[in-house]
C-alpha cells in the first residue's frame, strides 16, 4: 500500500517491491520497519505508520533509507 508513496517521494518506478522482513514498534498506532527489495541487489528500509483502527486511516510512509543491502540490519530510524 505504500509503494506509490515511496515511488513519488523517490521519483522512480520500482517494478520489484518485495518485503523481505519487518519489525514493529507500538506507539499511538504501530510503526513498521520494513526491508524491501527493489531490484536484484538493491534494498530500501521503510518506516510506515499505521494509526489506530478508530482513526480509519491507511498506512503512511514516514521515512525511508536507500542504498541498503540484504545483510544490513533493520533498525529504528
Q: Is 7 helix (H, G, I), strand (E, B) or coil?
A: helix
pLDDT, residue 65, reads 95
Strand order in the sheet with 43-51: 18-27, 29-37, 43-51, 60-68
29-73, pLDDT tens digit by residue?
999 999 999 999 999 999 999 998 877 788 999 999 999 999 999
50: left (phi over 0), alpha (psi -120 to 50) or beta: beta
Global confidence as pTM: 0.88
- Assigned C-alpha cell, 28: 499511538
Amino acid at each position: 500500500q505504500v509503494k506509490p508513496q515511496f515511488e513519488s517521494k523517490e521519483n522512480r518506478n520500482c517494478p520489484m517491491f518485495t518485503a523481505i522482513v519487518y519489525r514493529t514498534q507500538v506507539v499511538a498506532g504501530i510503526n513498521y520497519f520494513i526491508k524491501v527489495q527493489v531490484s536484484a541487489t538493491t534494498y530500501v528500509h521503510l518506516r510506515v505508520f499505521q494509526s489506530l483502527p478508530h482513526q480509519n486511516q491507511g498506512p503512511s510512509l514516514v521515512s525511508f533509507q536507500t542504498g541498503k543491502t540484504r545483510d544490513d540490519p533493520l533498525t529504528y530510524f
